[in-house]
Amino acid sequence: MGKKKILIVCHGFYPSNTPRANRATELAKEFALQGHEVVVITPKKNGHAAFEAKHSITIKDLGEVKWKVPNFGTSKVGFLLTRLVLRMLQLSVEYPYIELMFKVKKALREEKGYDMLISIAVPYPIHWGVAKVWNKHQSIAKVWVADCGDPYMGCKTDSFKKPFYFSYVEKWFMRKADFISIPVESARSGYYDEFQEKIKIIPQGFKFEEIQTTEDFVEHPVPTFAYAGGFIPKFRDPGPFLDYLITVDTDFKFIVYTSTVSLLEKYVELLNGKLEVRNYIPREDLLEVLSKMDFLINFDNNTQIQVPSKLIDYALAGRPILNIKDELEPVKVDEFLKGDYSGRYKLPDVQRYNIENVVKQFIDLL
């Protein structure tokens, strides 16, 4: 199809280590590797100059969010008040990320002549900023693809529903977008019926050649398993699983990579060395560690609309997966601890996640 000009607008990008940052970073790298001209608009960070030179990518500064988060002090009352007010602002006006809508609008005024614009959420104000300047007379790009990780109004993993008026905002930007890309087919029901024809299933993608995993797996002296990611009370909640592990008499080692430590603190002591909590490490290093585990743990979102992106990493690590649902299955846990993985979680063909195939799906939209 020849060389194309690609513009990617996002908030998360290298060196950030989040699913949506990985999405944007891997797309930009592969588009450039395949010979396309790539420009990324994102908050400029240390290390971006070297990244641009290495991958032949241009990064333009979107600027960081400057609107201040409320702070009522470090006392217990102040902490609770800060959380309450911030949560109310997030729900009611998408504060502080609503500022990104204006930043994106301003940044795009200087851009034109692209074949494709890909805006990546979260945060969703990235899409809203594009919609502010996108009209039939615009000259920014021939095609706009709004890439969505999780649904906005159709989100099932938040304790609170978005206010009704955001439905008008979501429909407004989706009417303007040429395509809406989502990672899994099962997430379709999280989006309005009137936009189903615009939806394209384009999964998360990774460069397989860059992934280092162990080729010669060695079983551990005691069952050793791991989980990597955050927790969501009542949705992706480790409590029931950890409560059951307390009752298990046999030795094991459960290693958790997370920044959400509050739900684990009491269990570290109760499990007496059997639970080890570690900070996040770079994704490439994490995959190598995961490939050495006897098996891996996934805490299910308990909804088909939002599927954890970590399952792709787990698939690449190549180890059996124990999927923990809202109703714990103790028999299955016992089987895994005994080395019986017949009840392992079934994953699709990993080639779906090869970044070369993913980029082709985007290019085919042209």
Task: Find tokens 């551990």 and name the residue.
Answer: 220
Domains 5-202 and 209-351 share a fold: yes
So what's the pLDDT on residue 182?
Answer: 92
Query: In the β-sheet with 179-182, what is the strand arrangement from edge to edge?
Result: 58-61, 37-42, 5-9, 114-121, 141-148, 179-182, 199-201
CB 228, CB 258: distance < 8 Å: yes
User: pTM value?
Assistant: 0.74
So what's the pLDDT on residue 119?
Answer: 97
So what's the pLDDT on residue 1?
Answer: 65
The CATH number that domain 5-202 falls under is: 3.40.50.720
Residue-by-residue DSSP string for 183-197? S-GGGGGGS-GGGGG
- The domain 209-351 having CATH identifier 1.10.150.170: the answer here is no
Q: How far apart are CA 352 and CA 337, in angstroms?
A: 30
Q: What is the β-pairing status of strands 199-201 and 37-42?
A: unpaired
pLDDT by residue, tens only, the chain of 366 residues: 689 999 999 999 999 888 889 899 999 999 999 999 999 999 999 999 999 999 999 999 999 888 888 888 878 888 888 888 888 888 888 899 999 999 999 999 989 999 999 999 989 999 999 999 998 788 899 999 999 988 888 776 666 788 888 889 999 999 999 999 998 887 888 899 999 999 999 988 877 766 666 566 788 999 999 999 888 776 678 889 999 999 999 999 999 999 878 778 899 989 989 999 999 888 778 888 999 999 999 987 655 544 556 777 788 888 999 998 878 899 999 999 999 999 998 876 777 888 999 999 999 999
Burial (CB count within 10 angstroms: exposed 0-12, middle 13-18, buried 19+), residue 197:
exposed
So what's the pLDDT on residue 98?
Answer: 94
So what's the pLDDT on residue 305?
Answer: 43
Q: How far apart are CA 292 and CA 215, in angstroms?
A: 9
Q: How far apart are CA 148 and CA 170, in angstroms?
A: 12
How many C-beta atoms lie closer than 10 Å to residue 92's C-beta?
12
How many C-beta atoms lie closer than 10 Å to residue 12's C-beta?
22
Strand partners, 147: 120, 181
Q: How far apart are CA 218 and CA 197, in angstroms?
A: 48
CB 318, CB 243: distance < 8 Å: no
Strand partners, 144: 117
Rg, Å, the chain Cα set: 22
The structural domains of the chain, with segments of one domain joined by +, span 5-202, 209-351
